[in-house]
Amino acid sequence: MTATQLSPGSVRKTAAGATAPGRRRALDRYLNPALGVLGVAVVLAAWQICASTGVVDPKFSSSPSGAFRALVDSFTSGDVWSPLGSTLSIVAWGMLISIVAAIPLGLLIGRNRVLYALTDPLISIMYSVPYVVFLPMLIFWFGIGADARVVIVVWSAMFPLLINVIAGARNLEQSHLQVSRVFCASRLTTLRSVAFPATLPYILAGVRQAVGRALIGAIVAELFMGSAGLGYVVQLKTSNFQTDDAMAAIAVIAIIAVLLNHGVAYLEQRLTFWSRTD
Amino acid sequence: MNNPRRKLVVDDLRIGHWSRRSGSFALACDGLTFDVAENEFVAIVGPSGCGKTTFLTALAGLTPVESGRLELNGEQITGPAPDRSLVFQQASLFPWRTVVANIEFGLKAQRRLDAKGKARVAELVELVGLAGKEESYPRELSGGMSQRVNLARALATDPDLLLLDEPFSALDAQTRELMQEELTRVWQADGAGTGKTAVFVTHDVPEAVFLADRVIVFSRGPAHLVEVVEVDLPRPRGAGVKRSPRFQEISDHILSLVMSQNQPGRRTEDHDSNAALSR
Ligand SMILES: Nc1ncnc2c1ncn2[C@@H]1O[C@H](COP(=O)(O)OP(=O)(O)OP(=O)(O)O)[C@@H](O)[C@H]1O
Ligand SMILES: [Mg+2]
């Protein structure tokens, strides 16, 4: 909130004060992104200067201009599409499976005291342990094909989502449940029409965490398995000393991460507008 | 005794809460006995924490009866049923549903949301004065509007018995007066001229007298019956009724009963011993 400054007897000042919140919002809208871009530009410029003046060896460190050229090349030659598609489809499948499984499962566990007591320690452990330690074991079990990578993505994404859904289902408003009971709603109706929408903000927060972890899971799996995807490209190009190409692949991964984050944020805004307190 | 006037029978009723943590039992209503007739509007007043909400939730079927009779149309109440609905004390609208969708909830839950149900909801939106707000969300409503939605939601299922738990207590004085008049209007308009049977819990004595045919005064908790006061004011009642000498007389009488409950020294009966019974 902006405090409106009132100086005695000055109508003009007051009028200017009344528009101040609007101006502040416009500043937030344009100035903050502009500052963000500036920050990135400064770092890139410093990197470019270091590479051009030979402070660092661009063969090892790549350079913004080299990486950018490699990025454009990968698009014009079409080399980027196959690994990009591979990574994206793995992440998409993994997220889909996680969401379809975690939401009903989380609602069920959150609404059932015995199930919760049974599963809570297990899920907490699975959530807390760095999931990449399971990677060798998962490769051992599932091989290095696309299926195995989906398994790893699900493994990474499932638990933050599950934990959020359970927390949401356990935090249902008592009065909402009473309304449901008074109007004789069935258990299924209560789950679908009360528990699910009430949990939606938690679900989407969980999805946001899960998407981040899913991407990490996919990339780490590709680095590890060396079979396909953007992670594999990064690994391959780096070991071939093609650091520009490796940096270009990293840039693509960064873009995916940012877009996914924004996509989920957009969904949150569209689907849970009713829970905002502004 | 099978008197047709006895729509709701409360006989030596005891209700309480089991504490999950300590496993003990706390009595909230002790030995309540009274009847409610068909189409009657009954108000319950009593000190805070005496067990009014508990009694109402028992009527709704949310709180189990410990002992005694609690019969609606000759049948013991054992759980929620479509023939009763409750207007809650706190805000209980679903924030993710629009005004219309909130009002429809009961009908939808009971699989009765057909064309007739939709028409009834549209009618109620008009009746409670929410026309134009159909697609608003609860966070966009004022307190008065929210309670109108709450009321319309309870009326939508066309209950045999309407239960209201201090529905206007959170509103400012003017809005409250307005809502009281509106409730009498809706109540008279909705039941095809007869009015539904309603049980209305409130702290506000003039509100009780204005709305009710009879006012039931509860004692300090655990609640037992202090007195049942007939309100012999003519209907339909307008805002002017509140300035009539008879209204004042009845209000003063009930107020003195409630006040005597608030001051331990002036109580006629003693119920100190059974605040908490362990089993
Ligand atoms: N869920 C519960 N578990 C245990 N005890 C409860 C529960 N709800 C209410 N009580 C207790 O039962 C008694 C009656 O409470 P109740 O809510 O019925 O009072 P009330 O008359 O509605 O009060 P108010 O006028 O303040 O709304 C109180 O002593 C209260 O502490
Ligand atoms: Mg109460």
The binding-site residues of ligand 1, defined as CB within 6 angstroms of any ligand atom, are B 17, 19, 26, 28, 48-54, 203, 221
Same domain, B74 and B28: yes
Is B88 inside any structural domain? no
Question: Ligand 1, from B13, B14, B15, B17: best to mutate by most atoms within 8 Å of Cβ?
Answer: B17
* B233 pLDDT more than 80: yes
Is B38 inside any structural domain? yes
Between chain A and chain B, the number of residue pairs with CB atoms below 8 A apart is 66
- What distances in angstroms separate CA B195 from CA B147, B155, B168, one per listed residue? 20, 12, 20
Count of domains forming chain B: 2
Same domain, B147 and B220: no
Q: Is A236 exposed, middle or buried (0-12, 13-18, 19+ CB in 10 A)?
A: middle
Cβ(B51)–Cβ(B29) below 8 Å? yes
* B135 pLDDT more than 70: yes
Is B1 inside any structural domain? no
* A16 pLDDT more than 50: no
Query: In chain B, whose CA is at the least distance from the CA of A183?
Result: B106
Same domain, B107 and B237: no
Phi first, then psi: give them for residue B216, nearest 5 degrees: -105, 125
Contact A182 B137 (CB under 8 A): no
Q: In chain A, what residues touch B81 (CB-CB under 8 Å)? A: 184
Q: Which of B158, B193, B208 is the last residue of a domain?
A: B158
Sign of the alpha-carbon dihedral angle for A132, A135, A137, A142: positive
Same domain, B38 and B60: yes
In this prediction, residues A145-150 reach a mean pLDDT of: 86
B91 touches chain A (CB under 8 A): yes
Is B170 inside any structural domain? yes
Contact B88 A186 (CB under 8 A): no
In this prediction, residues A14-38 reach a mean pLDDT of: 70
Same domain, B124 and B195: no
Q: What is the pLDDT of residue A6?
A: 36
Same domain, B135 and B249: no
* B265 pLDDT more than 70: no
Is B270 inside any structural domain? yes
Same domain, B47 and B108: no
* B83 pLDDT more than 50: yes
Same domain, B78 and B164: yes
Of the segments A14-18, A48-52, A211-215, which one has the largest average pLDDT value?
Answer: A211-215
Contact B137 A274 (CB under 8 A): yes
**CATH number of the domain enclosing B241:** 3.40.50.300
Q: Please, which pLDDT band fits residue B276 given cuts at 50, 70 and 90?
A: very low
What is the arrangement of strands in the sheet containing B41-45, beginning at the earlier edge strand?
Answer: B84-87, B161-165, B197-201, B41-45, B214-218, B225-230
Residue B129 structural domain: 93-158
Contact A181 B62 (CB under 8 A): yes
Same domain, B60 and B198: yes
Q: What is the pLDDT of residue B269?
A: 45
In this prediction, residues B202-225 reach a mean pLDDT of: 92
Contact A175 B91 (CB under 8 A): yes
In words, the CATH class of domain A64-275 is mainly alpha
Min CA distance, B233 vs chain A (Å)?
33
Helix, strand, or coil (residue B70)? strand
**Bridge partners for A220 per DSSP:** none
Same domain, B153 and B176: no
Q: Which of B129, B158, B187 is the last residue of a domain?
A: B158
Lowest mean pLDDT among A101-115, B7-21, B158-172, B257-271: B257-271
| Ligand 2 centroid from CA B60, angstroms | 14
Nearest CA to ligand 1 atom 31: B49
Q: What is the Cα–Cα distance from B24 to A25, expressed in whole angstroms? A: 56
Nearest CA to ligand 1 atom 26: B48
Q: Which of B158, B186, B203 is the last residue of a domain?
A: B158
Q: What is the Cα–Cα distance from A255 to A253, expressed in whole angstroms? A: 5
Same domain, B147 and B190: no
Question: Ligand 1, from B54, B224, B225: best to mutate by most atoms within 8 Å of Cβ?
Answer: B54
| pLDDT, tens digit, 9 for 90 and up, residues A42-60 | 999 999 999 888 888 878 8
Same domain, B217 and B254: yes
What ipTM was reported for this prediction?
A: 0.86
In this prediction, residues B65-85 reach a mean pLDDT of: 93
Helix, strand, or coil (residue A219)? helix
Q: Is the peptide bond preceding residue B236 cis, with omega within 30 degrees of 0?
A: yes
* B261 pLDDT more than 60: yes
Q: In chain B, what residues touch A275 (CB-CB under 8 Å)? A: 95-96
